[in-house]
Structure 1
């Protein structure tokens, strides 16, 4: 059972942001790029610690579709064909609560791997 339950979930297509509000009042604006590079899928996370796959070139990622998964999660379908991540409510809450640190870590990993992030269109 999820500790955090959303009361509102809105996809803003033009700004490419998923806005989500939870029952405890927490409110997050999660960019599609951020959600794509932190997908909980095995394709991104690997099958165990240390097997994560650095996602590059996702600056212009958009969400084409959001599908409910039971009453505990959503599947996000991205325009690059990625749709295997199941985002539980707790995962989305954690991504929101830790967004700044996660993003800084991601940027540092990109730089260490010799990749430059371009500005989104």
Structure 2
């Protein structure tokens, strides 16, 4: 595991706000971010979402109502949220969470733009069922 470099802010507080569906995270440099579960979910660092290279990302849709049902600490460098849609393979390192918080506005705008281009939706009820695909190797 590549250790965190000394510039990476360390979280001093991580709070799950289930009712407002946000993850509150405070860092030792004084930053405090409120990250909506949906935002965390669509920017999951897992291979499933990010793919294996630029342009390989899977556009996440219909995650407006997603919940974080559990937060698993991973060593002292990351957390692994378990989402209500069964997604739990994303390891969110401190620097990744910090980047999400810092660039939240731009990232969210980018996501909405990609969603629009793809004719996608944030509403789970409107998402077409996934086409069957073979050979992916993910079992849930």
TM-score, structure 2 normalization: 0.82
Task: Please list, as runs of the form range in 1=range in 2, the aligned pairs for 1:1-121 lying within 5 A after superposition.
Answer: 1-2=4-5, 3-118=8-123
SS of the counterpart of 1:104? helix
SS of the counterpart of 2:69? strand
Deviation of 1:118 (Å): 3.7
Deviation of 1:95 (Å): 0.2
Q: Using the alignment, how far apart are the partners of 2:36 and 2:86 within structure 1?
A: 17
Aligned pairs, how many? 119
TM-score, structure 1 normalization: 0.95
Deviation of 1:49 (Å): 1.4
Looking at secondary structure, tell me which structure has more strand per residue. 1
Q: Choose 1 or 2 for highest CA Rg.
A: 2
SS of the counterpart of 2:116? helix
SS of the counterpart of 1:101? helix
Deviation of 1:48 (Å): 1.2
Superposed CA RMSD: 1.2
Gaps of 5+ in 2: 125-140
Q: Using the alignment, how far apart are the partners of 2:69 and 2:24 within structure 1?
A: 15
SS of the counterpart of 2:48? helix
